[in-house]
Structure 1
Amino acid sequence: MEKEKSKENCCEFIIVTGMSGSGKTQACRYLEDIGYFVVDNLPPVFIPKFAELCQQSGGSVSKVVLVVDTRSREFFDTFIHVLEDMDRDNQQYVLLFMDASDAAIIRRYKETRRRHPMAPSSRISEGVAKERERLVQVRNKATYIVDTSELKKIDLKEKILKLFAPRVGEKMNINVISFGFKFGMPLDADLVFDVRFLPNPFYVESMRHKSGSVPDVAAYIDQWPVTREFKQHLDNLVNFLIPQYEKEGKAQLVIAAGCTGGMHRSVFIANHIYQLLKDKGCQVKLEHRDLMKNEVWEHVREEV
């Protein structure tokens, strides 16, 4: 459900509120992943001043999420008045209200064995009823209302990204890494391509001390039918996967190509993947992790 507001009011200053147990924490994690700075449990009276400070930061703090809910106790009573004052002063904000059915909230509290903030020493259902009544006015002012009663985490993530990721305008960060298996696999790799089956320039004396970035070494690796066929399959796979990861909302992707020493074949393939992604307009970085670790490299340091 959405409450209509003019596009002028759709900014990157988000106030998250709603029912306890409705998924505010999880939603804020997803907002953090797409570049927002999150401040949790801020007393409402400080919201205008915080918004003013952000506007005066010169753009250094441009994407902010403030979480305001009934945990602020008596301070929460000023929340609706603060929002009304911000409206009168034409301060731009988006109000995201997280909600869920009473049954879903009660079930979640029972599963986590936590006390409800509105009923610390009585039944959870009483706390839910009190909180829902207290939030009526705030809910009516919401820009977006997200009901998580039947949502899985992945569904909630998709909703949050659909609402706010387009405003961020940030692409998925992709890191392409070449490495040598003898030095260990990169621990943070999402995709690993073992290219030790490709012809190895190490056994060609004139190429042993050169990296896979050197033209004659690259040409040697690329001349074999198995290399060309592999690159075709690799390109098709990468072209298929990247949009899927972006659609899923992945913030960072690490693609690793490995050979024995991380000097020839893995460097060549990593360069190929990097250029493929760069030509597609992706936000991509290239790293040859183990190039300087090879003993043969100590004799001749090629520029890569």
Structure 2
Amino acid sequence: MSTENTNDEVEGTPELVIISGMSGAGRSTAAKGMEDLGWFVVDNLPPSLIPAMVDLGARTQGAVARIAVVVDVRGRTFFDDLRSALGELDASGVLRRIVFLEASDDVLVRRFEGVRRPHPLQDDGRIPDGIARERELLRELRGEADLVIDTSDLNVHQLRARMDDRFAGSGEPQLRATVMSFGFKYGLPVDADLVVDCRFLPNPHWIPELRPHTGMDEAVSRYVFDQPGAKEFLDRYAELLHIVTEGYRREGKRYVTLAVGCTGGKHRSVAMAERLARRLTEDGLDTVLVHRDMGRE
């Protein structure tokens, strides 16, 4: 499988988004969000029929300009069919992207138990067995995705807002960045493309007058960047990000998530994420800043 081909797009051919991912992670919600944005949405389309759907859209003379297709892993020939379809689309110069939705195992188990439905791949086993089997089957597809969204901590409205943010506009930039601060003690963000560890810096948590504040406060930010190596790290990593993002642009990647972590996700990671987001914005990227764990105790 390959990334999208933006150099040889055929005039009049619809833009294509393929929505896939873990069962229970929100594929139907994402599809409904795309439909509300004016995309022509087809649910559970066999991968082998995707090129034919795009061809039919091209014959509408612009009436169907954007198509979203939801596919899942059911079927023994799923990956062979999808790989063949993607190869055919790339050879035709179709602009296509893959969105992969996932969530943690415990969240998926709770969602299936909440609706009292079996996992489609659990057979005679338990729900976790089906989840493990599906995660293994989808590993390659996740690695090829243009956008990975972890829905573990998202409700229906937040997921639809995330889809709005990505797909509402027709003039979206070539590369969009999400900078997310987080706490290592709460776990790594599973949708991160790059991870930065700020735990090499002294922790403001141990300064009584700084402990109640966050990295968004000037006093905490000043303390963090007054530490040896902090400014140098920011400068060097910003230079590295420039090289990486330029490479992403050349490869046609549309989205990148940079996760910036410290112990609790309240002080150092927040301060560093704020500065890195500013640097990316100055570098011409449309940048979203998220502080995942800042409000946790």
Tell me the TM-score normalized by structure 1.
0.50
Matched, 1:97 2:74: no
* Matching residue within 79, 83, 86 for 2:82: 79
1:6–1:82 Cα change, 3 Å: closer
Give the Cα–Cα distance (whole angstroms) in 1 for the partners of residues 162 and 84 of structure 2: 29
Give the Cα–Cα distance (whole angstroms) in 1 for the partners of residues 82 and 72 of structure 2: 9
Pairwise CA RMSD = 2.4
Note if contact 2:121-2:131 (Cα within 8 Å) is conserved in structure 1. yes
1:122–1:92 Cα change, 3 Å: same
Give the Cα–Cα distance (whole angstroms) in 2 for the partners of residues 139 and 84 of structure 1: 17
Give the equivalent residue in structure 2 for 1:149.
152
How many residue pairs are counted as aligned between the two chains?
166
Shift of 1:94: 1.4
Note if contact 1:95-1:143 (Cα within 8 Å) is conserved in structure 2. yes
Tell me the TM-score normalized by structure 2.
0.51
SS in 2 for 1:146: strand
Give the equivalent residue in structure 2 for 1:61.
64
Give the Cα–Cα distance (whole angstroms) in 1 for the partners of residues 128 and 107 of structure 2: 11
SS in 1 for 2:117: coil
Note if contact 1:37-1:65 (Cα within 8 Å) is conserved in structure 2. yes
Shift of 1:6: 6.8
Give the equivalent residue in structure 2 for 1:163.
166
Give the Cα–Cα distance (whole angstroms) in 1 for the partners of residues 158 and 45 of structure 2: 27
SS in 1 for 2:19: strand
Please identify the structure whose Cα radius of gyration is greater.
Answer: 1
Shift of 1:137: 1.4
- Structure holding more helix per residue: 1
Map residues 1-304 of structure 1 onto 2, 5 A cutoff: 12-71=15-74, 73-77=75-79, 78-167=81-170
Q: Which amino acid aligns with 2:140?
A: Q
Note if contact 1:45-1:75 (Cα within 8 Å) is conserved in structure 2. no
Give the Cα–Cα distance (whole angstroms) in 1 for the partners of residues 4 and 17 of structure 2: 14
Give the Cα–Cα distance (whole angstroms) in 1 for the partners of residues 41 and 91 of structure 2: 25
Give the Cα–Cα distance (whole angstroms) in 1 for the partners of residues 153 and 8 of structure 2: 29
Give the Cα–Cα distance (whole angstroms) in 1 for the partners of residues 3 and 53 of structure 2: 25
Gaps of 5+ in 1: 170-304
Q: Structure 1 vs Structure 2: percent identity of aligned residues?
A: 35
Shift of 1:166: 1.2
Shift of 1:5: 5.8
Gaps of 5+ in 2: 173-297
